[in-house]
A and B are shown apart, each in its own frame.
Chain A
Amino acid sequence: MGSKLLRLISSFSLLAAILIGWEIVAGTIYPKYNATSVNIFPPPSAVLGIFWDLLRSGELVTHTLASMARVAVGFGIATLIAVPLGLSMGAWPAWGEQMRVVIEVLRPIPPFAWIPFGLLWFGVGPEQTVFVIVISSIFPILMNTVAGVEQVEPVLKRSALSLGASKLRLFINVVLPRALPQIIVGLRIGLGFAWMVLVASELIGSTAGLGYLILDSRNLGLPSLAFMGMFVIGIIGYLLDAGMRWLERVLLPWNA
């Protein structure tokens, strides 16, 4: 118990050292040379201060929830499109072949390039953010689903057929579970992408969300607010990834 706690604490020691170093540089050394330093390079204490203010006012929760809702909807839509599409591409190779050409052309386009169209079609607001999130996360989910279906060993399929499985049963009871680890990898990457483009899209066309908060910091001349927004984004992104990895372990106990 004690050693476990010790290990947990020690795994954060580098992070703590960085924060302390930053506090010393930005909080005590830099202000000696520049009286307005806090408006250029704020120390962690200033970031924490503004974090506390916004938490108490409820603003932080509102913006975080706005962002998370967009990611949830966008990622959800992407999953609902990409997983069935990927499965169908794997199940019918001729169709997969045709789709692949289309996808390979669309895939290298950075999701950010879709932002102007998002603004044009949906205007400023959550819809365009959701749109860009869908575009960004759909490809990794799709490609990994296809790869998952393709990697099903022929001997497993033959084995199932030889044991009397129908084509449908083969798909449900062999192809799907065998492809699941790869699909989950795709979901994890897709969620990471979604979270990343969220901020970019909110920076450009939004009136709420963590990205909007960062943009607002510039208007307000409050860089500590920008730092705070960045930290919250980083921490939530980390938690989302950790959650996906936990899900992977729970859903796939055999995939050690």
Chain B
Amino acid sequence: MRISVSNVDKRFSVRGREVNALNKASLEVRDAEFLTLLGPSGCGKSTLLQIIAGLEPATGGKVSFEGRRTASGPVTTMVWQRYALFPWRTIKHNVAFGCEMRGMPRGERMARAQHFIENVGLIGFEEAFPHELSGGMQQRVALARALCNDPEILLMDEPLAALDAQTRTVMQVELLRIWDQYKKTVVYVTHSIDEAVLLGDRIAIMSARPGRIKEVIPVTLPRPRTLDMLTTPEFHKLADHAWNSIKEEFDVAYGASKEGQSQ
């Protein structure tokens, strides 16, 4: 499914103070595309994702989903940085949660959950509780839970940000492998430029707050992607391009001088 975000505004008012989080943000996400979203902290990336997910109303503008439905689950499902697993449910019941909510019969949903638990490499942990797992394993559970729910679109908000560097690299490879299998439309927020280039078909760059989509960079690297690509000149060119675009926004966000910006 395609996502069409047009002129979305978001204003928060907290105790009389107004915060303009998004200002006429427009973005097209293609069917089965992996779109990564980069932007300075506080520019409204999470807000945009929650608006797309329907968890937060927009103040103005419109989000629409176009195209044929191919999945059995809801249109969107989110994955968070802090996994947001249900601590009272075992891993298999966490993974089966979405299907349970949709009334899928027990046998069917447990078999489905088992399949995704196996796919993310967590065999043997079906009966464990989330607090018994490491951060990386918990994020695998969160991923399995989202995939088991079979949404049209996966919305991921810095899913690997809480992990250490090594685990993050392992999980990036895992994500690439799993995405190749299911080819879902993905919007993926990250702070890591390398991650944005490695995972994305295109990189959307947001401006400093109030956020809008400033630039979309097509990632010309072939698929399947591998970690070896991190050292290719093409990768560096793309990463530099993204970095320069984002740096301008950092300078705006942190009030740096205009001179630094014009290069």
Contact = CB atoms under 8 A, between A and B. Distances in A.
Contacts of A177: 86, 88-89
How many B residues touch the partner, as a band? 20 to 34
Given A254-B88, A255-B88, 7 more contacts: A155-B82, A160-B86, A162-B76, A169-B101, A173-B100, A173-B101, A178-B86
**At the interface, is chain A mostly helix, strand, loop or mixed?**
helix
B96 to A, nearest CB: 10
Interface residues of A, number: 23
A10 interface: no
Interface of A: 153, 155-156, 158-166, 169, 173-174, 177-178, 180, 252-256
Interface in B59-116: 73-74, 76-78, 80, 82, 84, 86-89, 97-98, 100-102
Contacts of A166: 101
Contact of B84 (A155, A164, A252, A255): A155
Given A180-B88, A252-B88, A254-B88, A163 B97 contact: yes
B55 A164 contact: no
B73 A164 contact: yes
Contact of A254 (B53, B80, B84, B131): B131
What 7 pairs across the A-B complex have the smallest Cβ distances?
A163-B98, A159-B84, A162-B78, A254-B129, A165-B101, A155-B84, A164-B74
A241 to B, nearest CB: 23
* Interface-central residue, B74, B76, B101, B129, by most chain A CB under 10 Å: B101
A156 B98 contact: no
A156 B86 CA distance: 7
Nearest to B98: A163
Given A164-B98, A164-B101, A173-B101, A159 B78 contact: yes
Nearest to B82: A155
21 contacts: A158-B55, A158-B84, A159-B80, A159-B84, A159-B86, A160-B86, A160-B97, A161-B55, A162-B53, A162-B78, A163-B74, A164-B73, A164-B74, A164-B77, A164-B98, A164-B149, A177-B86, A177-B88, A177-B89, A254-B87, A254-B89
Contacts of B146: 163
B145 interface: yes
Nearest to A161: B55
Interface in B118-159: 129-131, 145-146, 149, 155
Given A155-B82, A158-B55, A254-B131, A163 B77 contact: yes
Contact of B101 (A163, A178, A252, A256): A163
A160 B80 CA distance: 12
Contacts of B100: 173
Nearest to B142: A159
Contacts of A173: 97, 100-101
Given A156-B86, A164-B149, A253 B97 contact: no
